[in-house]
Chains A and B, each alone.
Chain A
Amino acid sequence: MAEQPATTDPTPASRLPLSLLLALAWLVPGLGHLLLGRRLRAAVFFVVIGIAFVVGLLLQGELILPTAGDPLSYLAAIASIGNGTLFFVAKYLGLGQGVVTAVSYEYGNTFLLTAGMMNLLLLLDIHDIVDGRKEW
């Protein structure tokens, strides 16, 4: 599936404010790229981040929130919340509580945090595309 550069294939998203585009991209993994016309990459990112997130939950991982007196928990919370809608839906459904005694707990955390960081990194990619620093 060929992906067209934004400069030759303007999409409606090109006219969206960057902040709105970034917010949408954060909420749904791959949505930002989809709105910019990068359909293949959007699909790949959605699937990869989705799989990582679901595997993390299945492995009894925890969607970490900030804890007073634990500075590292703030960094972990940024990564967790970086999952966007996936984070909020999982929290709403009572998932991602984390079972510390489970043998797979740390593995689950790794998958959940990785998924969030990957989604956040996409925001920088979208910024580069909109800014014209990346043409594909």
Chain B
Amino acid sequence: MADHLSLMTLHALLVAVYFSFLWKHGRRERWLYFWKVFGALMVGAVALGWLMYSFPRT
């Protein structure tokens, strides 16, 4: 499990769980916040990677 996507997913999962319990109270609020943070991290990372593809290292 050393590929970038798996590790990124695990990291996003841990961070999303952490912040949903740190900042939200109640099962429903925590679930909503978890999916928001997890989604933002995953989609954001893919989007950022896609944008950086236009600027390869020389």
- Where the two chains meet, the residues of A that have a C-beta atom closer than 8 Å to any C-beta of B are 40-41, 44-45, 48-49, 51-52, 55, 59, 103-104, 107, 110-111, 114, 118, 121-122, 125, 136
Across chains A and B, the number of contacting residue pairs, with CB separation under 8 Å, is: 36
Considering the chains assembled together, what is the distance between the CA atoms of A57 and B2 in angstroms? 13
Q: List 20 A-B contacts (CB under 8 A).
A: A40-B21, A41-B22, A44-B17, A44-B18, A45-B21, A45-B22, A48-B14, A48-B17, A49-B18, A59-B7, A104-B2, A104-B7, A107-B7, A111-B11, A114-B11, A114-B15, A118-B18, A122-B22, A125-B22, A136-B25
Q: How large is the interface on B (under 10, 10 to 19, 20 to 34, 35 or more residues)?
A: 10 to 19
Is B10 engaged at the interface, CB distance under 8 Å to the other chain?
yes
Considering the chains assembled together, what is the distance between the CA atoms of A59 and B38 in angstroms? 22
- Residues of the A chain whose Cβ atoms lie less than 8 Å from the Cβ of B4: 107
**Consensus secondary structure, chain B interface:** helix
Closest CB in chain A relative to B2 CB, distance in Å: 5
Closest CB in chain A relative to B49 CB, distance in Å: 15
- Where the two chains meet, the residues of B that have a C-beta atom closer than 8 Å to any C-beta of A are 2, 4, 7, 10-11, 14-15, 17-18, 21-22, 25
- Residues of the A chain whose Cβ atoms lie less than 8 Å from the Cβ of B10: 55
- Residues of the A chain whose Cβ atoms lie less than 8 Å from the Cβ of B21: 40-41, 44-45
